[in-house]
Structure 1
Amino acid sequence: MQRDFDVLIVGAGLSGIGAARYLKVKCPEKSFAVLESKPEMGGTWNLFRYPGIRSDSDMYTMGYAFKPWTNPKSISHGDIILNYIKETSAENGIDAHINYGRKVVSASYDSKNTRWTLEIDHNGTPETWTCNMLFGCSGYYMHDEGYLPEWEGYDDFEGTLVHPQFWPEDLDYAGKRIAIIGSGATAVTLLPSLAKTAAHVVQVQRSPTYIVNRPSEDKWANRFRRFLPAKLAYALSRWRIILDGRMRRQKMAKNIKGAKRFLIGEVAKEVGDAVDWKTHFVPEYWPGQQRICAVPDGDMFEPLKTGKASIHTGHIERFTKTGLQMQDGTHIDADIIITATGLKLHFLGGMQVSVDQQQIDPSKLLIFKGFMYSNVPNLIYFSGYTNASWTLKVDLVAEFACRLLRHMDRIGARQVVPVASAEDLAQTSESIKFTSGYFLRSLKDLPKHGKAFPWIHEQDYLWDRKTLKRGKVDDGALTFSKGDPMILPQEQVRREAAEIAAQ
């Protein structure tokens, strides 16, 4: 069995399958394999199985640039998205390259041989795989552990406790009283789905989030598809949504107070007097600091208006035998408690990374243009946007990665590294624009932004498109070599950075 490749892709989810397709089409001479820890592909869309799971972005921009999204639903269900990923893999001959049940434990890079050595756990059996270039497509959160706040009384609760990340297939919630803890996309998806058959569903939130009603079908995209060739219709739909989203964000930034009034006002119109919207739908933060939850066709509002569901805003004091005791004295009775309390972030799928026998501390790295890390050679990571669809960024990075590989072949380089000086590493950015809990909880342990280009990365698709799609590969920000030792050894850089920061 071959275990040495030009490129290894870690993860067979939306990013990994997309990266593999670009690699196969743009760099057909490169050997590659995909390593997936689970027994099936799909990533997020294979892991999450809770009722009603759907995209939180429109599928015309969350779909791949090269494969038109043809389902009439723009906000689509998880099983349809999973089928889309599987179709992409089958149509492009990716299936044969995927190796399932292989979790990457560690990855060590040797600059002398320009090789990554990956230690793999194959269902309990150790394996070693090697490559020249490593693509990290494993996403940003732990698949085997969700975030659970520390509350008293977990063991006291005599009902059923469920985390959406590990939804039991045999869970019977018909006629049950259900409490959903959380205010994000998962909670607002679960509420209308469970309310169809549950006795009552109450969403328990510490603080409100912004909610927007969106049609599940994009009328313009469906019209384009009806009258135009599929690829042209898809391209027009994508660009209409991209440009509309950009203009909306610019408008919101110019009048942030007006944007807040508008978003809250729209929800107030939806729920009317049936819900205390001033208590449950007025967030403390500004629009754009966290992702705005989209509810297709207002499906969340209907059960709130009919009384099949309700919202309680406040702090949980403890779990009890029969539900939740709130700090305001209210007791919420529940047969089932669902902890939609968020994700736990980690670095490159949780693998341990070293370069020239020096262990890498992710919190000491800088993010290079949103797809590489400072002083880490031959590694490209794939991550999406916080203010737009995930795959918009994945497409750009995958295409750039292929351009990078072809450029290295042309100049005879075997190693590429974004070199950061001690001064660069000492000047990390303190500004935090994204304030979601799962991000802030992990901020200290993750790579940082710098003060200036190329160590600063804005969440801007058009800028990234200009930089990654049309910009030069060798623009002076990357260092190419045939396999020289690291110019700036990691430990030396860290010491120098600490000295500069202390001055």
Structure 2
Amino acid sequence: MEHHDVVVVGAGLSGIGAACRLEQDRPGTPYVILERREAMGGTWDLFRYPGVRSDSDMYTLGYPFRPWQRPEAIASGEAIREYLHDTAAAYGVVDKVRFSTTVVAADWSEADARWTLTLRTPKGEERLSTSFLYLCAGYYDYERPHTPTWPGQEDFAGEVVHPQFWTDDIDHAGKRVVVIGSGATAVTLVPAMAQTATHVTMLQRSPTWVTIMSEGGLAPGISRVLPKRAAHAVNRQVSLALNTGFYQLSRRSPRAAAAYLRHGLRRALHGDEAALREHFTPRYNVWDQRLCVVPNADLFRAMRAGTASVVTDTIDRFVPEGIRLTSGRVLEADLIVTATGLRMLAGGGVAITLDGEPARIEDRFVYRGTLLSGIPNAAICIGYINASWTLRSDLATRYVLRLLDHMREHGLAVARPRTPTGLEERPLLDLSSGYVERADGMFPKQGTRDPWSLRPTYALDRATMLRGDVTTEMDFVPART
């Protein structure tokens, strides 16, 4: 059976980053990346809807070992996809990716100290083994988004599409469009589609907190003074400091954080207090859900131009000409886009067993936010919910490599986080967003003490992940001689 020291599942932002770190820090390690789709890029290859872009600045969403060189801080999906492909090529990992390969199941053999993976490929079912399994498949289902249904949906005379399944042949030019939703996808779609549509209406059940960011970066003047690499490093530190500071403010003084955001929104709305109260003042505290980023106030510019509008109401039913609201108003539409969110999926949906016995990851605690209690030689890549995903995914990878180095240096074959007893449970993702609440009970848990809790800030996390003791509350098995 084909064997690799490390198998990385997923060739998206996390998986490519993990492979690049392997090439840099452990050259010569036999590894392979298994990607279920036909291309690299993960999220940034899957999503092709109009205007798709990052909702984190690229100084922190990009890899620390490959600085973002373009002028814009909030990048388009195409630019991010190009960045990922260029990075994979530069570090020699492209040939390590095996496409159209889905990891269906992974079974650990205690006697052999290795995983056997069951794969679904174009050639049929295959198997390979690995000493260490690293799940970098993200956190949501690529095949099934969250798609609610409404009464009368079959009566609508136009087209209904979910952004996750957007294709190039969907034409919105000259059409009346209704986008259902208020999250990051909706605030991206509306101004992008408004450039060519007759009119675009964002229909939201309730408002979402929005922050307005300059497209040139949080410290744009620095980029004009310093060389590119130095400017990137400074912009990265400025972004980290501002994002961390605002998150801490939101947790400790939610009223002050809300007042700050309302100040920016009031300016973008040119003092329209009624619109501010009705459409842009949520019922929840700032950072109870993830912030939506509006670069250069493009959503508000489209609203002022009359090509876009926001309606806060609930849907009564679909009608042939569009959507009838609970208030009785009918929103006429030729195209309805259901930006209704994601369906979360832990570990890429891989069925994990230990010597044939199911090992449900939702029953496990995360160790250092990366390993799983009682599961040997395996890690799951989890990023931040309150900052750029890559900040933590890169730390997770570097921790995994530190653990592998420790095992090699001490002649160890197995590393297993010791299952804690009497540990108070907390949700892994501390958000009240709909997609998180719908996934309740599907993800591993965290505890309330180190090493079973997730650090809330990058600075604290970095110290633990890069310098913390890898043997704390761990069990090891020596390699056979």
Question: Could you state the TM-score of these two structures normalised by the residue count of structure 1?
Answer: 0.92
**CA apart distance, 1:66:** 0.2
**CA apart distance, 1:363:** 2.3
**CA apart distance, 1:273:** 5.6
Partner residue of 2:239?
241
The answer as to 2:452 corresponding to 1:451 is no
1:28-71: CA deviation from partner (whole Å, max 9, x where unpaired)? 13200000011110000000000111100000000001001000
**Contact 2:204–2:311 (8 Å) recurs in 1:** yes
- Which blocks of at least 5 consecutive residues in structure 1 are unaligned? 485-503
In 2, Cα distance between the equivalents of 1:253 and 1:34?
38
Partner residue of 2:258?
260
Pair 431,190 (structure 1): closer, same or farther in 2 beyond 3 Å: closer
Q: RMSD of the TM alignment (CA)?
A: 1.8
Q: 1:270 aligns with which of 238, 243, 268?
A: 268
In 2, Cα distance between the equivalents of 1:293 and 1:402?
33
**Contact 2:6–2:132 (8 Å) recurs in 1:** yes
**Contact 2:428–2:443 (8 Å) recurs in 1:** no
Aligned residues: 479
Amino acid at match of 1:262: Y
In 2, Cα distance between the equivalents of 1:337 and 1:254?
39
Partner residue of 2:212?
213
Partner residue of 1:293?
292
Q: 1:465 aligns with which of 457, 462, 469?
A: 462
Amino acid at match of 1:131: T
In 1, Cα distance between the equivalents of 2:198 and 2:312?
20
**CA apart distance, 1:219:** 6.4
In 1, Cα distance between the equivalents of 2:448 and 2:385?
20
**CA apart distance, 1:173:** 0.7
Amino acid at match of 2:120: D
The answer as to 2:377 corresponding to 1:365 is no
**Contact 1:69–1:234 (8 Å) recurs in 2:** yes
**CA apart distance, 1:223:** 4.5
The answer as to 2:395 corresponding to 1:435 is no
Pair 120,432 (structure 1): closer, same or farther in 2 beyond 3 Å: closer
Pair 147,431 (structure 1): closer, same or farther in 2 beyond 3 Å: closer
The answer as to 2:31 corresponding to 1:35 is no
Q: 2:477 aligns with which of 469, 475, 481?
A: 481
Partner residue of 1:170?
169
In 2, Cα distance between the equivalents of 1:324 and 1:385?
36
Amino acid at match of 1:266: G
**Contact 1:113–1:483 (8 Å) recurs in 2:** no
**Contact 2:428–2:444 (8 Å) recurs in 1:** no
Partner residue of 1:125?
124
In 2, Cα distance between the equivalents of 1:190 and 1:357?
46
Amino acid at match of 2:469: K
Partner residue of 1:116?
115
Superposition pairs for residues 400-439 of structure 1, below 5 Å?
400-424=399-423, 427-429=424-426, 433-439=430-436
Moved more, 323-332 or 169-178: 323-332
Partner residue of 1:204?
203
In 2, Cα distance between the equivalents of 1:210 and 1:303?
18
- Which blocks of at least 5 consecutive residues in structure 2 are unaligned? none
What fraction of aligned residue pairs are identical, expressed as a percent?
A: 37
Moved more, 158-167 or 318-327: 318-327
Question: Could you state the TM-score of these two structures normalised by the residue count of structure 2?
Answer: 0.96
**Contact 1:40–1:46 (8 Å) recurs in 2:** yes
Helix, strand or coil: the match of 1:276?
A: helix
In 2, Cα distance between the equivalents of 1:234 and 1:267?
28
**Contact 1:176–1:198 (8 Å) recurs in 2:** yes
In 2, Cα distance between the equivalents of 1:303 and 1:224?
29
Amino acid at match of 1:455: W
